[in-house]
Structure 1
Amino acid sequence: MPIDTDLAVTRRIVIPAGELRERFSRSSGPGGQGVNTTDSRVELSFDVARSPSIPDDVRPRLLARLATRLADGVLTIAASGQRAQLANREAARARLVSLLRDAAAPPPPKRRPTKPSRGAKERRIAEKKRRGDIKRGRGGRYDD
């Protein structure tokens, strides 16, 4: 996923690179002297609430499903797993696309309520009777 190109989330949702904000900072963890000098950690921010790239019919679904991850309508993703800044930028963009794609998916169709068939009910009752007979056959061992 090239860095300075638009992000295709779905066929209807394409985020221009200009709507993304990136901040860089020093990453934590092992890495020797390089970890103290390179700003390889990436924070990628995208304003879900005010983006013109999000269709108006999809926006409420995104805001509802991402509510716990949003701060004032802005989705922020941090990536610091790689040593190279470029790799972390690509990882953050891939994670953003994945999150938005999952959140934008339409809700599943409603379940049609069904009832068990007569045969299924009869099999269930027969099995209950069998279990009861087995348990009744155990009686008397503990009676004094």
Structure 2
Amino acid sequence: MTTPITAGDNGIQAGLSQCQDFMQFENALKNSRAIDDKIIQALNNSIPTASLRSKGEAGEKCQELWSQIAKIHTQREESIKTCVSYFDERMTTLKAAGDRSGARQNQVSLRMLRSELYVEEVIRQRTQTAYHEKCRDFAATPNSS
């Protein structure tokens, strides 16, 4: 049986669902990337050695693992995009109020979030490559999550 992989506990969920505390958001994002950092281990634990597996069982486990990974990827991307929108709106408000200092601080956070979208793409590609290498004989490799 495959060990369930989750985006984390309620602390991670709470961290990804808010944008005001940027450090908390970054920490939650980092913690939710644990599955991607440990993809090889997760694949090895999910798929038994050649002598112990059947193609049907391995294919099912590969699909189950990818389903969990895709859900986490989608959640992270949506969280980042939500925060980008939040900081975009905040930037408009700060500029309209003439708050240059606040606008500069906000701009830094906005740039960091936008760079996280690029980081997310790299992580997805790396995870997808590892998945393909381990599961290509048992399940179709998804194009994108």
Q: TM-score, normalised by structure 1?
A: 0.28
The one of the two structures with greater contact order (alpha-carbon pairs below 8 A, sep at least 6) is 2
Select the structure that is richer in helix. 2
Q: TM-score, normalised by structure 2?
A: 0.27
